[in-house]
């Protein structure tokens, strides 16, 4: 089994380090780590170190000896999923599975047909949940570079993001859409890929027109129609395989 991952503000280098607080409590009281076991400490931004447990103290202090700091470079092409806001807790499900799969960035999108509305304190709380989910899923999947979860974007902001991409696509439920299947689209080997996942009610004609003007074409994933909370994960997996990032 690979070593469990814990998040720190700054990755220590070749020295004794005490992991405390919530991460220390998880290591000692939940994982029940003991002397001699291996762990990975990361800042979630690509810097990490392997460490060996020296002792567990109390309920929330893990003493480790850290090795040299290493850095995982960002992979290319970078994959961003613009995720329309789903109902209920399906947003966290989408973030969790996309993170585990390997997405690089997630942009929450307040689409015209979204039932869920992120406003005021409710919106801030929901965004906080998405970011916490990405962090926990990053740890669970043994990542050392967690996906960025951006502030909620408007359609205009999404269009600007698409305009700057090296490949931009809107996942479309129409199996006969003109651009064809994402599985056969010509993809870049570097730069930025941006995918848009619409809400349960679909992307509106006005939104499709704005995205088309920005250079994004509609593509289908397959013959079945996926939920908004699973389409981004399926598309990310497809692209990771096609671009060689899963090789």
Task: Give residue-wise pLDDT tens across range 122-153.
Answer: 999 999 999 999 999 999 999 999 999 999 99
Alpha-carbon gap, residue 116 to 75, rounded angstroms: 33
Average pLDDT over the chain, rounded to an integer? 94
Return the structure tokens found at 223: 């013959």
Predicted TM-score (pTM) of the model is: 0.94
Please tell me the least confidently modeled range out of 35-39, 41-45, 178-182: 178-182
Sign for the pseudo-dihedral over CA of 206, 209, 215, 217: positive
Which whole number is the average pLDDT over 160-188? 87
pLDDT of residue 1: 62
Task: Give residue-wise pLDDT tens across range 190-246.
Answer: 999 999 999 988 999 999 999 999 999 999 987 788 899 999 999 999 999 999 999
Q: Enumerate the β-bridge partners of residue 18.
A: 63
Contacts of 87 (CB under 8 A, 6+ apart): 115, 116, 200
Domains of the chain with bracketed CATH: 5-71 (2.40.240.20), 78-242 (3.40.1280.10)
């Amino acid at each position: 089994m690979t070593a469990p991952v814990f998040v720190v503000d700054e990755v220590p280098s070749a020295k004794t380090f005490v992991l405390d607080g919530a991460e220390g409590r998880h290591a000692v009281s939940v994982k029940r780590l003991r002397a001699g076991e291996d762990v990975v400490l990361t800042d979630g931004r690509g810097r990490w170190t392997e460490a060996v447990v020296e002792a567990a103290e109390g309920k929330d202090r893990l003493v480790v000896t850290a090795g040299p700091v290493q850095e995982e470079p960002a992979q290319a092409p970078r994959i961003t999923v613009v995720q329309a806001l789903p109902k209920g807790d399906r947003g966290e499900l989408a973030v969790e599975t996309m993170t585990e799969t390997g997405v690089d960035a997630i942009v929450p999108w307040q689409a015209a047909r979204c039932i869920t509305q992120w406003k005021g304190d409710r919106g801030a709380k929901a965004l906080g949940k998405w970011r916490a989910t990405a962090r926990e899923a990053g740890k669970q999947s043994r990542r050392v570079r967690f996906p960025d979860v951006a502030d909620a974007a408007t359609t205009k902001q999404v269009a600007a993001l698409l305009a700057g991409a090296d490949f931009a696509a809107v996942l479309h439920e129409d199996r006969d859409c003109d651009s064809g299947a994402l599985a056969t689209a010509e993809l870049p080997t570097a730069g930025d890929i941006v995918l848009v996942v619409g809400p349960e009610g679909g992307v509106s004609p006005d939104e499709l027109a704005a995205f088309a003007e920005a250079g994004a074409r509609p593509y289908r994933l397959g013959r079945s129609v996926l939920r908004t909370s699973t389409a981004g994960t399926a598309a990310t997996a497809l692209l990771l395989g096609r671009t060689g990032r899963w090789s």
